[in-house]
Amino acid sequence: MNIPLDPIQLAWLAAALAVAGCVTGVLAGLFGVGGGAVLVPVLYEVFGALQVPESVRMPLCVGTSLAVIVPTSLRSFRTHRAHGAADLEIVRLWAVPVVLGVIAGTAVARFAPPSLFKGVFVVVASASAARLLFFRNAGSLFGEMPGRLGMRLYGVVIGLLSSLMGIGGGQLSNLFMTLYGRPIHQAIATSAGLGSLIAIPGAIGYMVAGWPKAADFPAVAALQFPAAIGYVSLIGFALLMPTSAWAAPYGARLAHRWPKRRLEVAFGLFLLAVSARFLVGLVWG
């Protein structure tokens, strides 16, 4: 289908995505997240304005989010690593299991109903918000870190859930590491390293998974530009990626200078708002 956009509408959409990209980049650096918690809900509303069918709207948001996370997470991790905060042993230990989890998640995405993506997002984002708002000092709740087998199993779960949510894994790995007593700065820096491990195979997987449904995606005829490759919107990627990647190092540097309690509360409230938005969609369609 072709959906012509007038210049004013296109300008507003471009401005909204550019601002969302800046916010995503700052949060990616500041909290060690890929930024999917910002990107997915923003893209959900933008694709709604473009009349993307509900049957492909949510996976298109997730796939596009994963593609944008690739350069953003690489820049964020580079800055954190320069501060010497990342635990590279954990990154190496999780590398293969996380990728396996992502592959499994993208396979599920090919056949899953839209409600599954929304449900996973609501559950995980709500748990992350609860940790940020109410359990910031629960660092020793689970005692010592698990052994190598346990860590690998956690890696698979993180990759699977992240690929279904369109996030870089930072929310999940942050939650995991802080509950096992790791310092918050180390958790953030290490989590930033997972972004590209999750986003690269995840984005490729969503391109493949969405390829058979390409006819359901709107093409913007006025731009003479292909709308998407599978479940990855090229227009969304082109507008979000530059500002997101540009802003990521600033957030990472702030993470090593600012006390983050006020920002944790703000991010936790944002996650609750996003969860409520998708919960309404699950309950009332």
What the block records as the tokens of 97 is 């299991």
Is the distance from CB of 159 to CB of 101 less than 8 angstroms?
yes
In sign, the C-alpha dihedral spanning 272, 159, 91, 233 is negative
Q: Is residue 32 a part of any domain in this protein?
A: yes
Rounded CA separation 180/248 (Å): 26
Number of structural domains in the chain: 1
Q: Is residue 1 a part of any domain in this protein?
A: no
Is the distance from CB of 32 to CB of 191 less than 8 angstroms?
yes
Which are the contacts of 284, defined by CB distance < 8 A and separation ≥ 6?
Answer: none
In sign, the C-alpha dihedral spanning 14, 18, 24, 25 is positive
Query: Could you tell me if residue 90 is left (phi over 0), alpha (psi between -120 and 50 degrees) or otherwise beta?
Result: alpha
Give me the tens of pLDDT residue by residue for the chain, a chain 285 residues long.
444 555 676 677 778 788 888 887 887 777 766 667 778 888 888 788 777 777 778 888 888 888 888 888 888 788 777 777 778 888 888 889 998 998 888 888 777 776 777 787 788 778 777 877 886 655 555 667 788 898 999 889 888 887 776 666 777 787 778 777 777 777 778 887 887 788 888 888 888 888 776 555 554 433 333 467 888 888 788 888 888 888 888 887 877 776 767 767 777 787 787 778 778 767 765
Which domain range does residue 20 map to? Answer: 7-284
